[in-house]
Amino acid sequence: MKENFFRSMTWMHTWVGLLVCWLVYLVFFAGTVSFFRDEVTLWSKPELHSISKPPAEPIRIAQQREQITNGIAYLANTAPDSSRWRISLPTTREPQLVYAYEKPRAEGSKRFGGWQTYIINPETGEATAQPRDSKGGNFFYRLHFDLHYLDARTARYIVCFASLFMLVALISGVVIHKRIFKDMFSFRKNKGSRSWLDAHNVSSVLALPFHIMITYTGLITLIFMLFPYPALTAYEDGLKGLFNDVTPTNIRTKSSTQSAPLVSTDYILDQVYTNWQSADLTSFSIRDPNKASATVTVRASTADLVKDQTPTMLFNAVSGELMAQSAQELTTSEVIYDSMTALHTGRLANPLLRWLYFLCGVAGCIMIATGCIMWAKRIRERMKKDQTASFGLKLVESLNLATLMGLPLATCAFFIANRLLPVSTVQRADKEILAFFITWLAVALFTLFKRAKMQWYLLAWLNAVACISVPLINALTTKGNLVSYMLNAQWALFSFDLVCLVCALLFILQAKKLRTQLSPPAPNTRSNRVTKPPLMEQKG
Amino acid sequence: MSELLQFNLCLLAFNCFALAKFNHYRDVFKTRPSQKQSQQFIIVAWISILLSLLLCVVERQGYGVLLFCGYMALSVLLLMIFYSFKASWVKYISAVNVTLLLLSGSYIAVI
């Protein structure tokens, strides 16, 4: 225990933060990218770029009835015997209309057979070319809490543990930051570790409500995994019972072999629009079509309500009777849980709020990065000239370089692989992910041997080149480029390329800054020549 | 347009908070602020930030609070950049800020 409260808090902030900073950086980085999950997925499937943005709300909603009716007819012709049909309607973020059916399951298997999807251009009603196999933004979304190669449950426990540490670090950070409002706009450049501390403080303070909100709600989204005991006590079938209770549309009817015709789609949609006037539907799914047990699930958008649970209605697809619908009035605890999930995912956000979320996410990444760099820098400054670095310091420096510079490079490798891998490659999506992890591993191995300023400098240039390559390779391998996206008002694609170029510019600035620190000062004094250590050996 | 008004109010508020501080005021105007000036800046800042929050909440409820947090982050970032790297530009930025505030406010009042 330290001698006073302030010192104890400082000690806790340092060590709690340092212990998980690289993992939290990965979680923040991937989470920040996945605020634009749909846009990244759209970019990674150039076959969908020709589909223009759906019209504004009243016209789009008016078209939905026709799209659903056409979809049912299409699926009835294509897969009359499938056990599930799904029609996903175009939205402003996902402009394509999707008709899908479940592929036949393996003999005797109860496992889901996977979706066979058809992408339809909503303007023409024609099927477009099948898009390339890519996870796109979904990879980053899953990565930020499933950590990809780990078992999902284990990974989520690890991420929760790291989030808890992050929350402790945030709160202790507020306590130890005595001049939190006085230093709000202060950044003292070229002042060594003082500048790093300022950058750490500013990036923490400018988005402090966001940092606390995103960390706390992140824990809340997984609360039933962390703390299932009330549900296990109250329900005989545990969490399943709880979820069925709060989601009345989870009813599963027993599959029947008896055939029965589907009720008219209009009859169901009339009921939907009577209950929810001007509802913006997102999907229309049928389970067991053309069977006596057939059910229809209709989902609508939550629009900009701070609410995550999708408004859903469940109908008997043979009689058209409404079987269940999502609760209109939620209990206080449901409202709290649901709104916290909505706040965390940011699915409610319009483009302006989405960009603000992104900005705050970037601030979070900077806060973590500056924190871990500062730790190593301060230890280096305290070391005597002839003292060799400890194993711990070397490890932290390696991890800093590998994570902070390796992750952006790996992300670029993922996008470059998306454009360069042949479309016909088997398990193409997995190969893109492999490119991501191989690049990151290569950087990590590189940092094991050298982690001086020169290596930061090299990786800054490598990142700059990789960031420029993404829009460049995109322009060379697809019909679109930054200019055409701007002229055609394809703002999601334009922004993607622009962000890559901005990142490239920032890496160039970083490299230039490092270059000035690497170049030897003019040997104008005797003391300069004698006392300065070799610059290549100075640590970052 | 209402988003522009809300953001400009937020930016004005943080700018006033910054100018109420001795070192930031000196960086911009090359003189020290009087006690009265600092107090006036703080009063304007509080009115402006509360007005921004009020407009956000009245118009968009819970969603508005999220927007407001985003506006705060963006305002602080912009001001931090200007005060740290281009303090001489703050006067012009403040003028643009107030002009946009008046224009967006007038537009909303007229429409």
Residue whose C-alpha is closest to residue A347's, from A243, A217, A246: A217
The three-state secondary structure class of A300 is strand
Unique residue bearing structure tokens 């570790």:
A193
pLDDT digit string, tens, across residues A251-284: 877 887 888 888 888 899 888 888 888 788 899 9
Mutation pick from A180, A185, A197, A306 vs chain B, by most beta carbons of B within 10 Å, is: A185
Arithmetic mean of pLDDT, A418-435: 93
Is residue A395 pLDDT above 80, yes or no? Answer: yes
| Mean pLDDT over each residue of chain A, to the nearest integer | 87
Concatenate the DSSP letters of all residues of A354-394 into one string. Answer: HHHHHHHHHHHHHHHHHHHHHHHHHHHHHS-TTPPPPHHHH
Q: Is A274 contained in some domain?
A: yes
Do A505 and A428 share a structural domain?
yes
Do A502 and A401 share a structural domain?
yes
Pairing of strands A84-88, A322-325: unpaired
Q: Is A177 contained in some domain?
A: no
Query: Which residues in chain A are contacts of B63 at CB distance < 8 A?
Result: 304-306, 348, 353
Asked if residue A391 lies in contact with residue A378, where contact means CB atoms within 8 angstroms, the answer is: no
Is residue A535 pLDDT above 80, yes or no? Answer: no
Do A506 and A403 share a structural domain?
yes
Q: Whole domain around residue A307: which residue ranges?
A: 53-132+248-325
Residue whose C-alpha is closest to residue A222's, from A346, A349, A341, A348: A341
Query: Which residues in chain B are contacts of A187 at CB distance < 8 A?
Result: 80, 83-84
Do A283 and A430 share a structural domain?
no
Choosing from A275, A301, A325, the residue where a domain stops is A325
- CB-CB under 8 Å, B60 with A304: yes
Number of domains chain A is built from: 2
Do A318 and A419 share a structural domain?
no
> What is residue A31's predicted lDDT score, i.e. its pLDDT?
94
Grade residue A530 by pLDDT with cuts at 50, 70 and 90.
very low
Q: Is A319 contained in some domain?
A: yes
pTM to 2 decimals? 0.89
Record the tokens describing residue A436, joined without a space.
Answer: 């991501």
Alpha carbon dihedral A473, A479, A484, A489, in 10-degree steps, equals: -110
Nearest Cα of chain A lies from the Cα of B106 at a distance, in angstroms, of 22
Q: How far is residue B51's CA from residue B108's CA, in Å, rounded to a whole number?
A: 15
Nearest Cα of chain B lies from the Cα of A395 at a distance, in angstroms, of 32
Q: How far is residue A141's CA from residue A159's CA, in Å, rounded to a whole number?
A: 13
Nearest Cα of chain B lies from the Cα of A190 at a distance, in angstroms, of 11
Arithmetic mean of pLDDT, A367-391: 87
What element of type H or E holds A208?
helix A208-221
Record the tokens describing residue A503, joined without a space.
Answer: 């990142």
- CB-CB under 8 Å, B74 with A339: no
pLDDT digit string, tens, across residues A477-528: 999 899 999 999 899 999 999 999 999 999 999 999 888 877 766 555 554 4
Each of the 111 residues of chain B gets a pLDDT tens digit; together they read 888 999 999 999 999 999 998 888 888 888 888 899 899 999 999 999 999 999 999 988 888 888 999 999 999 999 999 988 888 898 899 999 999 989 988 888 887
Does any CB of chain B come closer than 8 Å to the CB of residue A323?
no
User: What does the domain layout of chain B look like in residue ranges?
Assistant: 2-110
Do A511 and A395 share a structural domain?
yes
Does any CB of chain B come closer than 8 Å to the CB of residue A188?
yes
Is residue A180 pLDDT above 80, yes or no? Answer: no
pLDDT digit string, tens, across residues A307-366: 888 889 999 988 888 998 888 788 888 888 888 998 898 888 889 999 999 999 999 999
Buried b (16+ CB within 10 A) or exposed e, A97-130: bbbbbbeeeeeeeeeeeeeeebbbbbeeeeebee
Asked if residue A369 lies in contact with residue A239, where contact means CB atoms within 8 angstroms, the answer is: no
Q: Is A12 contained in some domain?
A: no
Is residue A538 pLDDT above 50, yes or no? Answer: no
Question: Which residues of chain A from 300 to 319 reach within 8 Å of chain B, CB to CB?
Answer: 304-306
Do A274 and A409 share a structural domain?
no
Does any CB of chain A come closer than 8 Å to the CB of residue B31?
no
